[in-house]
Structure 1
Amino acid sequence: MAAAARLAMRARPLSRPNPGVAALVVYQGRIIARGWTRPGGRPHAEAEALAGLAPQVLAEATLYVTLEPCAHRSERGPACADLIVAARPARVVVGQHDPDPRTSGAGIARLEAAGIATTLLDDPASAASLAGFLTRQRMHRPWVTLKLAMSLDGCIAMADGSSRWITGETGRAHVHSRRAQADAILVGGGTWRADKPSLDVRLPGLEHRSPQKLVLTRGPAPAKDFTAISSPQAIAELEGVQYLYVEGGAEAAAAFLVADLVDELHLYRAPILIGDGRRSLGALGLANLAEAHDRWQLAERRQLGSDSFEAYLRCRN
């Protein structure tokens, strides 16, 4: 299942508005087929993984899929639950329940009714690979990642506002790889006016993955290729956006944190000291230090050339 969850990352974000799902077929201890949701949402992962496999093989095989197979038919293709019933694998292992009311348990029920042994897991890796879809279904908004690139002393720019470049080339390339996995990217109005960032993906071969561009401002969009949103809460109105990447600046970052809309925090630290520079965050409105504790859990740490990278997940009950 962990391998399927890693494979599912290939679907993100091009599968939108569908979730990025992956499926593996295992026969006699070996993976013999795989699939993931294709651009635009079709074909689904299960259809890709099952295509062309012989019935006698499937009769002894296990299908691993990161999300409950869909149970609803559409003009774009059959329900995956029906495809699986027709293929008749020996067993199906599902990483996560589908909260979409069109499926929500009905996919698994259909497999069981057909006599296919089905196991539902609460698999953390599958949940992580589906974070945008699950957040959209359960909280009615995108999964939000906040990125901050700073000096060792917590500055994102010099006192005069100049900030190119705090991090090195390797760190910047890593940021572009994160942009390529987002549906939309956002900066504050002040950052746009000061830096005019392009917010595109500049990695060879991934330029087409540049996300939708947003700016947090109460006024009109500052450029024709940007969409203005008036508040952090307005991200709930972004149709089809499952993954939102917030690049700051300090006031926009603070606004999302105060609204408790940040699910993942990406910190890039360069081995430099700026001193009297611009801080990475604006006021968060904390009444006491105790409010700052037990909010974030370290999920990843790595070295990127001379820079360090840390990812933290918001601790939610």
Structure 2
Amino acid sequence: MRRAIALAARALGDTSPNPVVGCVVLDAAGRPAGEGHHVRAGGPHAEVAALADAGERARGGTAVVTLEPCTHTGRTGPCVRALAEAGVARVVYAVADPTPVAGGGAAALAAAGIDAEGGLLADEAAAGNEAWLTAALRGRPYVLWKYAATLDGRSAAADGTSRWITSPAARADVHRLRAEADAVVVGSGTVRADDPQLAVRGPRAEAGVTQPLRVVADTAGTALGPGARLLDGSAPTLVAVADDAAAGPLAAVLDDAAARAGRRAGVVRIPRAADGRGLDVTALLAALYGRDVRSVLLEGGPTLAGAFLAAGVVDRVVCYLAPVLLGAGPAALADAGIGTIGEALRLDVTAVDHLGPDLRLTAVPGPAPEPPATKES
């Protein structure tokens, strides 16, 4: 099963809206006979790839797979049928499929006379498929907020300069996060201050990684100018604007980008937030989900991060903390709707790692704070 989990991880960022899945087939004597993983949506599922690798040695054997085999026919046929036709006698899977469309594989296997057992290394397999499972259960993309800060919590200097707070090792790790995400989201402030590119660069790009969708939350539709790096054609770009924003200026910029790079960036209109400041985060995530985005890397500045946290949609936080002091400058997080210490969002730190001189802290939101006790009269 650990080998199957490792195989699944090879395709992180490449399979949406499908999960990452790995499979190892053992022959009737329990010896490895074949293996495979789901490479891309529309392609063979992990079980089919592993069965093809095993050939006739699969007959009477065992399929070990990270996710319960599917029962539905989409762009490919149901894996339960493929396993039955290959003559597999037993299936061991880690995580049950929670979707109503594809779930129920264990029962279907049993009906086909195949012994099925679930739960082996379920926690490890679920961790590798965390983004897809979160999206499947919550009906919105999984959100990982990444930010870099100095030891005193600054995201930039007082004069606005912000590049290279962290080391090359930390910056390389950010490209790993981008490669594993379906979309990278920033706000208009980040675009104006940094003119980011947001594409995956380095060895992963050279290996042919699927570039994430670059998303700009730009309420007024005025942040992108001619020549913006986000419109360079190296990855697809989507500009999210308010549903009442003027169309003319942005359309002219996108027309220019199409002429230069041969690719037109898309535009999606999103309702404004209830307080009129920025876009409705929940509606933005719903629009991305409708475009097959199942995981989001939030790289926006303090304002956008505050909006996502206030909306309660951040599933994981990765902080790159540099041993640097600035003493002044913008904080890493702006207003998140927290007015008192009792409302503070408490995080559970799950990992602390050294990356060069920097620390990488990984954390997940803890339980919601208890409401204050009321005195009885």
Instruction: Normalising by structure 1, report the TM-score.
Output: 0.91
CA distance in 2 between partners of 1:120 and 1:218 (Å): 46
CA distance in 1 between partners of 2:331 and 2:172 (Å): 23
C-alpha displacement of 1:103: 2.2
Please show how residues 36-185 of structure 1 align to structure 2 within 5 Å: 36-55=37-56, 57-59=58-60, 61-74=61-74, 76-105=75-104, 107-121=105-119, 123-185=122-184
Alignment CA distance shift 1:129-1:316 (3 Å): farther
SS at match of 1:118: strand
Q: Tell me if structure 2 keeps the 8 A contact 1:16–1:41.
A: no
CA distance in 2 between partners of 1:57 and 1:245 (Å): 39
C-alpha displacement of 1:273: 0.7
C-alpha displacement of 1:10: 1.2
CA distance in 2 between partners of 1:284 and 1:77 (Å): 43
Determine which of 350, 355, 377 is the counterpart of 1:299: 350
Alignment CA distance shift 1:279-1:21 (3 Å): same
What is the aligned partner in structure 2 of residue 282 from structure 1?
A: 334
C-alpha displacement of 1:255: 0.9
| Alignment pair present for 1:249 and 2:301 | yes
C-alpha displacement of 1:54: 4.5
CA distance in 1 between partners of 2:193 and 2:31 (Å): 54
What is the aligned partner in structure 1 of residue 286 from structure 2?
A: 236
C-alpha displacement of 1:133: 2.0
Q: Tell me if structure 1 keeps the 8 A contact 2:25–2:54.
A: no
CA distance in 2 between partners of 1:231 and 1:217 (Å): 12
Moved more, 96-105 or 178-187: 96-105
Alignment CA distance shift 1:195-1:56 (3 Å): closer
Q: Tell me if structure 1 keeps the 8 A contact 2:92–2:117.
A: yes
CA distance in 2 between partners of 1:195 and 1:112 (Å): 56
What is the aligned partner in structure 1 of residue 273 from structure 2?
A: none
Over the residues paired in the alignment, what is the CA RMSD in angstroms?
2.1
SS at match of 1:185: strand
Q: Tell me if structure 2 keeps the 8 A contact 1:179–1:211.
A: yes
SS at match of 1:187: strand
Alignment CA distance shift 1:157-1:80 (3 Å): same
C-alpha displacement of 1:166: 0.2
C-alpha displacement of 1:190: 0.7
C-alpha displacement of 1:301: 1.9
C-alpha displacement of 1:228: 1.5
C-alpha displacement of 1:176: 0.7
Q: Tell me if structure 2 keeps the 8 A contact 1:156–1:279.
A: yes
SS at match of 2:144: strand
Moved more, 38-47 or 144-153: 38-47
What is the aligned partner in structure 2 of residue 13 from structure 1?
A: 13
CA distance in 1 between partners of 2:107 and 2:152 (Å): 55
CA distance in 2 between partners of 1:114 and 1:315 (Å): 43
C-alpha displacement of 1:29: 5.5
CA distance in 2 between partners of 1:104 and 1:253 (Å): 34
CA distance in 2 between partners of 1:88 and 1:166 (Å): 57
Q: Tell me if structure 2 keeps the 8 A contact 1:296–1:315.
A: yes
Amino acid at match of 1:277: G
Total equivalences in the alignment: 313
Moved more, 30-39 or 175-184: 30-39
What is the aligned partner in structure 1 of residue 221 from structure 2?
A: 220
Alignment CA distance shift 1:84-1:221 (3 Å): farther
After superposing on structure 2, the runs of 4+ consecutive aligned residues of structure 1 that deviate more than 6 Å are none
Alignment CA distance shift 1:58-1:312 (3 Å): farther
Q: Tell me if structure 1 keeps the 8 A contact 2:143–2:295.
A: yes
CA distance in 1 between partners of 2:353 and 2:319 (Å): 11
CA distance in 2 between partners of 1:81 and 1:196 (Å): 48
CA distance in 1 between partners of 2:33 and 2:56 (Å): 14
Determine which of 319, 329, 334 is the counterpart of 1:267: 319
Over the matched positions of the two proteins, sequence identity in percent amounts to: 39
What is the aligned partner in structure 1 of residue 257 from structure 2?
A: none
Q: Tell me if structure 2 keeps the 8 A contact 1:215–1:221.
A: no
Q: Tell me if structure 2 keeps the 8 A contact 1:221–1:227.
A: no
C-alpha displacement of 1:160: 1.4
Q: Tell me if structure 1 keeps the 8 A contact 2:33–2:53.
A: no
SS at match of 1:281: coil
Instruction: Normalising by structure 2, report the TM-score.
Output: 0.78
Amino acid at match of 2:324: I
Larger Rg, first or second structure (1 or 2): 2
What is the aligned partner in structure 2 of residue 200 from structure 1?
A: 199
Amino acid at match of 1:46: E
CA distance in 1 between partners of 2:33 and 2:153 (Å): 49
C-alpha displacement of 1:153: 0.7
Q: Tell me if structure 2 keeps the 8 A contact 1:199–1:210.
A: no
